[in-house]
Structure 1
Amino acid sequence: TPGPVAAPGNGGNGGNNNQVKNGFFSKTWGDGSRYEGEWKDDMMTGRGYMVWADGRRYDGEWLENRCNGRGVLTYKDGRRYQGEYLQDKMHGRGVYVWAEGARYEGEYLEDKKNGRGVQTWPSGARYEGEYVDSMQTGYGLMTWADGRRYEGYWVNSKCTGFGVLAHKDGRRYEGEYVNDKMQGRGVYTWANGAKYDGEYKDNKKNGRGLHTWPDGSMYEG
């Protein structure tokens, strides 16, 4: 999710010779980019909109030739960001929508998702939780269209640490993960009541564990 935006050049005098701009003016650059809005001391400051030659458009607040404050940036390919900016970067709270329908609403820090946010995908998947440098990192809840639900810890957008995965058919795993795989100690419960409490490696039982069945029989080894 790249940020916008710097202007094609400094505010300058445009076609107004040596006039220092203060107030409402428009300026067009040689590549076809155009700004229309408020100026102060010859710099884009206040409210205004900018259209770039590549089709991007920013409509919002400016400070000394930079997007600063609240604004809306749209791309030619259909992407759209609405939210807060600081010195040309998405910074603060905002909503980013992709052309294919994915959507993120939450906190940004220097053009990257950082803090808490909610992302949804066209597939029906949904994540709500913590981000670091645009990756799901920290504590979060992910649900999928097929009914799976994972709540727990993430590192670099993968289940890593302690978490609980529940399936639509009643199966449930509660335990440790590494890179999206059951690894470490955990408890797996089947819909019929069977249960395994023990060690896992690469999604497989590995090491010592206790297996119990619905009829009460047990195996430990």
Structure 2
Amino acid sequence: MPFYRKPRNFTPLLIEAEKKSVKNGLHHAIFTSRFDRYKGDWKKDLKEGKGLFLTHTGKLYEGDWYRGFRHGFGTLSKKQQNGTYSLEYRGEWIRGKPEGVGWWYYENGDVYFGYWKRGQRHGYGKMWYANGTYYVGYWNMSKKEGLGMLIQENGNRYEGHWESNLKHGLGRFYHMHTGQLQEGCWVHNVCVRSKVSDIIIRQYCDLPTEYPIPPEELKDSKKILEESEFWLQQKIGDIDKKLQFCIDQMY
């Protein structure tokens, strides 16, 4: 009577090779077909952990990875002609794009610090422009939107509402060269109704206007403003209580 022997489990060599080829842990250098280079941690054949990724175009990312994406905290730099690297972005990432809080250094000299969403300036942030202009306030997908303050290179300052990068809504504009404060409403970067008054430091300005300012000749200016279509279309929740001072002082 022949003896029965249970056959030994056999795994084909091809499957064994595929299992061994799955990258896990730290690898010194992995090159892509485009000659991009990655050095860092892997998990189940995906970049995960800490790593350095250098593209063939000279972009260098150093930081956290998760499931193959730049995810966590990291820095993005660009290689210069002299061989050094200049910093472009430093901050938080989610699934390959800046999201959270971070700094961005633009090639033209502009610098942004604040919140990001899907690679766009979104939320509260500050922007230093190369020409000396400064903006601090809220953004919506890289456009000024909501409450914000803009200080121009000549010292003039606007404080108020923005929409699609334009002054739109209630606001105050300080004319620092003439020593006057303009309070009122803007529509697509144009002031449609306002009240102008002298500011305390008027005597120290470069080109102070004649004092006192001639009285306005328009009658019932407050009533006209309150009945205007623009004023009626304003959302109550979008109007800052402090900025309502501009309409309350019109007479």
- What TM-score do you get using the length of structure 2 for normalisation? 0.68
Question: d(CA) in 2 for partners of 1:171 and 1:124?
Answer: 22
Hey, what's the Cα distance between the residues in 2 that align with 1:40 and 1:126? Answer: 44
Secondary structure of the residue that 2:21 maps to in structure 1? coil
Q: 1:197 to 1:141 in 2, by over 3 A?
A: farther
> 1:69 corresponds to which residue?
72
> For residues 216 and 164 of structure 2, what CA distance do their matches in structure 1 show?
29
Q: What residue is the counterpart of 1:33 in the other structure? A: 36
Among 120, 123, 130, which residue is 1:115 paired with? 123
Give, in angstroms, the shift of residue 79 of structure 1: 6.0
1-structure distance, mates of 2:194, 2:156:
18
Number of aligned residues: 183
Match for residue 58 of structure 1 among 61, 71, 79? 61
- 8 Å CA contact 1:61, 1:69 repeated in 2: yes
1:178 to 182, 187, 190: 187
The 2-side partners of 1:181 and 1:44 are apart by 51
Residue pair 1:188, 1:197 contacting (<8 A) in 2 also: no
Task: Give structure 2 stretches of 5+ with no counterpart.
Answer: 1-17, 81-85, 199-208, 222-251
Distance 1:178 1:38, change over 3 A: same
Offset at residue 186 of structure 1 (A): 1.3
Counterpart for residue 110 of structure 2: 102
Query: For 1:114-150, what per-residue CA distance to the aligned partner results, in whole angstroms no more than 9, with x for missing partners?
Result: 1100000111100000000110000001101201000
2:171 to 155, 163, 174: 163
Structure 1 residue aligned with 2:155, among 147, 161, 171?
A: 147
What is the one-letter code of the residue matched to 2:126?
V
* Contact 2:47 2:67 (8 Å CA) reproduced: yes
Amino acid at match of 1:49: L
Which of the pair has the greater relative contact order for Cα pairs under 8 Å at 6+ separation?
Answer: 1
Give the CA RMSD over aligned residues: 1.9
Which residue identity does 1:147 align to in structure 2? G
Structure 1 counterpart of 2:22, one-letter code: V
Specify every segment of 5 or more residues in structure 1 that has no aligned partner in the other structure, as ranges.
1-15, 200-221
* Partner of residue 24 from structure 1, selected from 19, 23, 26: 26
Identity %: 28
Distance verdict in 2 for CA 1:197–1:148, change over 3 Å: farther
Q: Flag the structure with larger Rg.
A: 2
1:50 deviates by 0.4
CA 1:197–1:150 in 2, change beyond 3 Å: closer, same or farther? farther
Secondary structure in 2 matching 1:153 = strand
TM-score normalised according to structure 1 size: 0.77
Question: CA offsets per residue over residues 146-195 of structure 1, 9 Å max, x none?
Answer: 01000000001110001000111202210000111111x31023642315
